[in-house]
Structure formats: C-alpha cells, structure tokens
Structure 1
Amino acid sequence: MPQTPSGATLVPTELETKTFSVSALLDAIRKGRVRIPHFQRGFRWNDEDRRLLFDSLQSGFPIGTLLLARGEAPAAHIMLGGFAATVPQTPDALWVVDGQQRLVTLAMALLEDHSGAYRPLFFDLEANRFVTGPRRRSAPPYWVPTHVLSSSAVLNKWLRETAISAELSDRADAIASRLREYAVPAYLIPYDGQNDQLLQEIFARVNQRGRALEKHEVFQALHSSVMGGKGPIDRVRDELVQLGFGELDGSQIEKAAIAVAGGDPRKPLQDQVNGKPVAELLERTSKSLALTVEFLSGDAGVPHVSWLPYAGVIPALARFLSIHPSPHPRNRELLVRWFWRGTLTREHRTDNYIDLPKWRAIDQDEHGSVQRLLKLLSPVTEEDLPSALQPLVGGRSARRSTEYISLASLEPKVLAGEALGQDVPLASLIDHQLGFFEVEPIPGSDRTIASILLHPTDIPLDPFLLTGLAEPLLASHGLDEPSLRAWAAGDTQAFISLRSAQLLSHLRRFLTDAAGLHTRDQDRQPLDAYFAEEGA
C-alpha cells in the first residue's frame, strides 16, 4: 500500500472520470453544486489569462483537467466571479480542488454582466477573436459581450437589437455553440467526510504547481468550507477577493454591513443586530460590495482597493447600491463626481460624524439620494486642484493614490517583449507587491510619479528601443517624443522635468473631468426624474 510522507497507509480510492460541457458546468454553478473552498489564495488570473482561456476554448485547445471532490455541502451564499446566489443544501456538491481559476473565469464571463475590477471580455465578430474591452467607453457594435454567448435566447435578442450582417450573425451563433458545447474533462473524488488523510495527500500533490500550498492549508480549505469554519465577515472578504480588487479589511466590511442595515456608524455591528439574522445581512452586504467594487474600478477608475484615496466611500456606496443595484447611467456619472469631489475636499475620510449624514441621505428615492449626497459636499473649484506633483515620501496618502489613479487612467500598455501592446495587469502587480518600473531619480531631488512608469519590472525598458513605438503606446505612460529623447540621452533631469509637466497637466484634466468642474448641467438629475414628478 502507498504511504504518506508521515508513514500513514493510504487506502486507494475510486477516481471517476467524466466530461462536462461548459453549458453543464454553468448550470451546476447556477444551482449551487459547484463550491469553491474558502482558503486564502483567491482568484489570481489577470485579464490576459482570462482572455487566453476563451481563446483556447475557441481554438479547441485543452484547458486542463478539473479535480473535484464530490460530497455534501450546506445551504450557503456563494460567489464565483461576478455571479452571486443563495443556494440550498446539496448532497452531491462539487468542491473544486484544482480548476478554481478556470471555473471562476467561466462564471465571471458567461453568467453575469459584471466583471468586478476586471475588464469585460467580448468576442470581436469582425476579427473573429476574443478581446478585453474598455471599462468606461462603449464597445463597437460588432463586439459581443461574453455573457450574451451563454444563452441562445439572449444571443438572439442581442442580434435582433444590434442588426448586424447575416455573416456576422452566423459567426456569433457558431462561437456561442462552440463555447457551450466545449467538453471539459474532470476527475471526481468521493468525499464522505471520513477519508481526510487520503484527500489531504491528493491535494498536496496536485498543488505542487506554482506556489504550493502546505498540506494543512489545502485540507483546511475544504474542511473549513464544508464545516463552516470561517466567520461571515471572513467569508465575504474571500468572496470579494475573486473580483480582482484586492482584499477589503474586515472593518470595512463590518461598516458596510452597518450602512446596508441602516444602522449607526458610531456603534459596532454586534450591538445593532438585535437578534436579526446576521447571515442574511452579510449576504446582502456581499452583493452590494461586489457592485461597489465594480463602480469603483469601472466608473471611478480605481484599479485596486489599496489605491482608494479614502475608505469612507465604501459603506455609503454599499448602502446606495444595496437599495439601487442598477442605478440610472446619469446617476452613475453623478456618483463619480461625488466620489472625486469628496476626495478633493477630504470629506470621504472615515469619520463617523461625516458618515451618518451620508447614510441618512440614501433612501428609496434613487434620484433624490444622489442629489442629497452631492449637496452634502463642500463646493470644489479649480483652486482645489493640485498645483504640483507630490513628493513620494512617507507612507500612503490620499493625494498619492489620486496621482497613481490618474496614471492608471491613461490605460498603460506593455512597452516591450511578447506582451507588447497588452494592458498592464495593474491589480495583479499590486496584489503581488511586484512594484513598477522606475527611472533612476535625480540625486538630491524629491521623487515623484514622474520617475515611475506603471509597467512590470520584469520587462526591461530601453529608451532607445522605445523611440520606435507608436505614439498611443507611449502616451499610455505619459511619454512623448521630447521626454523620450531626454531619457535616451541620459538627461534624467530634463526627462523628469518634461514628464512632470505632462503628468501634472493630465492630473488636473483628469480631476476636472471626473469631478465635473467645467460642466454646465449643474448636476442635473436624469430626465426620467422630471417625467416621474410630472406623472405623480
């Protein structure tokens, strides 16, 4: 008999081999059969990893074998990517041992029109390939959102509304069928709660790829999931990590729950539940925080929670989105103004006495809630905009985060290597604390963001080679021909001076636009609101 490294004898188990179509996997996810263990390693793929999975599905390439432990699972609130649901107890759940990244990617792209902090995926019908799309700009009419491809009815409706050519319609039908029918191989391990030692050994061996998990980590992952070993706030945090926005603090989640419940920010959650079902409240909070993450990354332009200037926006947004999960596009635009104006005036800092009026301003009246939030803020003018880049000294600050976000708004691209022209995976680099490329600073001078390119450090950058790149690629890092020439000539002082001027100008434009400082609409509410008033 085989033995574990500790000398324990392993009793062989029956491994069942099976194939699942992508459509069957999606159905199992919807019904709550697929469960992701709550261990610390969350979703790790970046946007290009996600795109390549779908490219493999299109090409018919193998995507690897899933390893699933089949056994009982309790009723629970689950989240896979942007898909969230409260699901019943099931006797034949499929606990994911190996394949988490692939399954979360499928759920994120095919089940919901929500991608968290990740870029949405589309199928470009003209180019006949999968692409990552823009967050804040409209996609071309011949780009099909991937969630549309998962359902024949939804796809047919989309094709009727889009009115594209018959040739492109046929191509859309073909790729949708190919995706839904793609067969994914899987190993199924029986799990009855008794063969812990065997599973522990299998998990340890499977997880030798990449950064291997310790045996106790792997087993505890499954064990704690089935037995409910984590607290509700920890479970919410684990769910939200899948969205690619980083890990929220437990205190942020607790405060968001208080806001969603309409409680008092000055008191802890435990003192305010009064026997109410905490699990139900945390499920609502998880859903609203997922929408909050999507708003912060997709609308406000914040790529990662660690770059959030002020955390005080999280509970207010969670409350608003728990009541109004699909706000009017105009109100989303006004909330972006609210976000950035409050950042400039420092009124989004965490402060119980500032939070309370914000939370009370939010009620069932969507348009009125947004207008009241805007009116709570102090006026903002051009005088509140930065007049110089801030030195990179000391710890994290709201101002530094704002400057980094303005750099991210340029949508930086990879400037060299095989990934040339692809989006820099900002959130992934931040999550892994890999840092960004930095031009050698001038001795004796203060460092600013002018010496930093939001670019992977493991891809060398040679200014001589960059001079031949297309202007849009260079502009994605705030580079132009004069600054690049200075860098290539070794004149760091001139490079920093030229890029400082360019980045400061961009920072001021970014904040002016985001805060709506030059708009003449006086924060007008949606026209729908006026029609509603007339009809009342």
Structure 2
Amino acid sequence: MTTGPGGLEAQPTATTYELGDLVPLAWGGRIRVPHFQRDFRWQSEDVLRLFDSIVKGYPIGNLLLWVRRQQPEQFMLGRLRLTAPAHDESLWVVDGQQRLTSLANALSPEGHPYKPFNVYYDLAAKEFVESPHSPEPHHIALPILFDLKKLLTWFRTDGLAASDYFDEAERVATALRQYKVPAYLVRQDDRAVLTDIFDRMNNFGRKLNRGEIFSALYSGEEEGADERLTLAKISDNVAARTGFGSIDIGTILASVLARRGPDPMRDIRVEFSPAGRRTQSEFPDEDEPTAFSQGEEALVRAVNFLIREAGVPHIALLPYRALLVTLTRFFAHFPEPGPNNVRLLRRLYWRLSLVGPMVFRGSFTQFSRTLGGKIRPGDEEGSLRAMLDTISGAEPVAPSTDRFRTNEATTKIILSAWWSLEPRSLTTGEVLDAQSLNTLLQQDRTAANAAPMIYPRLGDPRSRLSPANRLFLPTNMDPVSEIPAAIVMQPLEIDDPTWDAVLASHQLDRDVAVLADRDRDAFLSMRQERIREQLGDFISRMAEWGYEDTPTLDSLNLDDEFDELEETDLPAAPEGY
C-alpha cells in the first residue's frame, strides 16, 4: 500500500462567492495561483464558453482554495501584474485556475486587450464574441459591462447608438455580477498535502499532460519560484525573442528532452536522476536550470532556421510539431551548421513535411524517436545523411489544394507557399511582415484570422472551402468583410506598379481581379489554377527532390593534391545547386 502525506487537519469549509465580490478579490491580490499549478492553457473558445455558461446560469464547477498566510509580493495572474498585500488568509487556487484567471483578465481593462481574454458581448446577437476586427455600436467590452458606473457612462457616450439594447446590457451585467460560484476553503500548512490533492483531482478528472506533470515534478519550493526558468517561461521567451508565436508546453518539453537524448518520449520522472535512467544523458553533469536554459537556446536556433531558411514565419504555419523537436536536437549539437548543410536541412524539413507522416505512420512518437536517433553528437554530416536516408525511398508528393482548413498540415504548407510571395496590404500596398503576422495571431493555434474568406456565403461547399476563396492577410488593418471590393478598386494613393505587386502577392492580376465582383466562379477557377502552379513551384524549390544529397567538400576524403588547388580551380557546381 502506498504511503503519502497525512490527511487534512480539518474538513474543507463550503462557501459561495458572487462574481462581483470574487473578481475584485483577485484584482486586489487576495487570490493567488501556486507555482506547482499547471500553466494557463485555455483558448478563446474556452473563455467564451465560460461566460456563456455564467449568463445562462449553468454551473461552472467548484473552486478549491487553499487558505494560508501571505507576505506582500508582486505577481502575475494571466496578463495582470498584481500586488498581494500581507494577509493572514490569502486564497491560493488548488482547483479552478483556468476559470479564475479567465474571469480576472477578461473583466479587467488591463487584461482584456490580450487573447484569449479579449471578449465582447454582442448586444444584438445576444452572444459573447472575440474582439471584432471592426466593432459595431452594439459590441460592448466585458470590463465596461461588468462595471455599472462605466456601463451607464458608455450608453451616454460611445454606446449612444446602442441605446435600444440597454435592457439587454443590464440583464447580462446583473447576471455576471450576481453569479454565485461555490468554493471549498482548505486550511492546511503542509504543501505536500495540497500537491497530493491537486494530483488526485486531476487524475480523477481531466488528467495533466506530460508537460504539466513535468512542471509539477520539478517545480521546487515556493520561495524563488518566480526567478526559476520553467517550460511556460521558455515558451514566452522564445516567442518574445523570435516572434514565432506561442509554442505549446508539450512541444517545449519534448524539445528540451530531445536536446538531452534521442528519445523525447522517455520517462520524465527520472530525467535528472542518473540512477533511474535507462540510457545515459548526452549532458550527464547538467543540472535542471542549465538544461532549461540550454534547451531554450537550442529552440531559438531551430525557430530562427524555420523563419530565415525554411520560410515558416509562425508556429501556426508549422505542419508538424515533431519537426521542431527534431530541429531543436540538431541545433543543440550543431549550433552553426555550414551553408550547404543548412540547405540540406531545409530540404529535409520540406521533404519530411510532405512525406514524413506516411513514412512514420503519422506518429509523433515514431517520428521523433527515429529522427532523434539519427542525430549523433559530433557528426554533423553523418546525422544529416542519416535523417535524409529515412525518407530516401519515398516518392515526391504535392499537397492537395482541394480544401483549405487552417488546422490541417496541407493548408499550413499552402500558407508557407503564400508567405514566400510576400503578401501585401490591400489598403496600403505595403509588404506585411512577420511582426504583423505575430501581432495578429498572438497565441492562436491556427492562422484562421490571417486567412479570411473572400466570399464567406458561397452556396457550394467545395468552392467556399477551397484555397482560392482565401487571402493571406496577416494584418488587422485590411477590411476583411469587403475583400471583393478591395480587390477590384485600386486605392488612389497606390501607384500602378505597386498595385500590380499587391495583386501578384495574392496570385492575382488585373484581368482576374476584375472578375471578383462580376463572375465569382470564373474568379475562383482562375485563381485556383494559379495557386496550384505557385504551390508546385514553391515545393520544387524548397524540397529539391531531383538533387543529390551530397555532403560538403570539406567532409570528403580528397587526395592531397586537391588540397593544394586554389578555390578558383575547383569544378563549378551544377546550375541551381
């Protein structure tokens, strides 16, 4: 029988909080999240569903709060930087972190601007929505709706045109403020008891993923937790340093593990315990902080390769996360590969994007283990050749252009091809850079917000879901609700050569663009053919199927007489190599 911490010294106390009281407690620093908790992982749809449930009066689950003494301290709750005063009965969240963090941020003016907390209420449609690209008078931000004084001021000023909806706004505002949340208060000094409760609750309900378990196992003591590097902080740091977007914790963990050994799916419970490991770490004397910091550096190098060499500007355009894990391992051992090896690595990336799932049967584990095992420390050339050999028998394939779904690998490949065209704004003519894309997508898992439909109400599903019915517009400044008109009408401030470049960046020219308002079928058919051709050219250029995967001259065992040749005496490389 397993032994563990002793039980609770006293039974939990049951109570209820109205949101009008609970949320200000969080803003005032009275509610905290222990550092052993899982990282915040809700997406926009989760936050929208939470508020929808509240207004409909549905239960959103109990909170479990740990009552303990707290010294004054500054801390982060989601996007909010808060100051916790000294208090004998601060409330630490054991269960309910995602809900409380969402409520505190979405209802706060400081947290509301950031995804996934940028929630509005559509008074006309009577539903919660993400921040609209172009807010209408009947869209009201949650921090205004939650504060009665601000709500009344809003209807006298910005919301004057929405005065017919005052009753609906008052109904929702009252429902929010008066909604009752049940909570259990636990008074217990032993941290081990609380982590045991946390573990059991998650195993009885929604289980933690590997990244969350790893974070809890190696969380350390509460003291100094803010200064320690964690998987979540690595994700934030990589996003800030590269503009690549937010990498999920599972991929961060797999990348950190891949750097230290070929199998990123190995047992995480003995990662820093040499006695319990089945295989020797490639960095045996490394402690946890060093493993984390060096893992971050390898990840940054891998991401920079994707952005600068492979033409993948954001994680939303990455077909398979296993590719990033493999690249992190490669750049951990070979931080500065030679120019030819960079080119071979680009070929490898694109060939794996196209045929990897067929060769490795679509398995992240098989993909990562096989390729990780081919990367041998100290042998850059051999590692590259071994990885290329794993797909040498695969036939070249072209991704299908039959449908466009931003959560599918094929569509992410299409978007990378479109990115190579340097898409331009329809209103300014300027090239839309990676910073614009990152600002638009923020923490989005897909590029849906950067690829609006041209005709969202097409009756034919095949045409509506085809790539030809999408534009790659990585900006929130262009009028996505009026794309056909924007394609047809050249802005007065854009000259003819620039407008031609704008159209070309979206696989259009003046002859095709003029059809956008006149003949939708012809417009989509002609653009679809151009998309097919451009995608084929892009894949041919990036995957280089017809080239021999030869090593650099430096790795060949040449006769001594060739060592004496001047560089100008060497044979010319084949055209295009």
TM score, norm. by length of structure 2? 0.46
Which has the higher relative contact order, 1 or 2, with Cα contacts under 8 A spaced 6 or more apart? 1
TM score, norm. by length of structure 1? 0.50
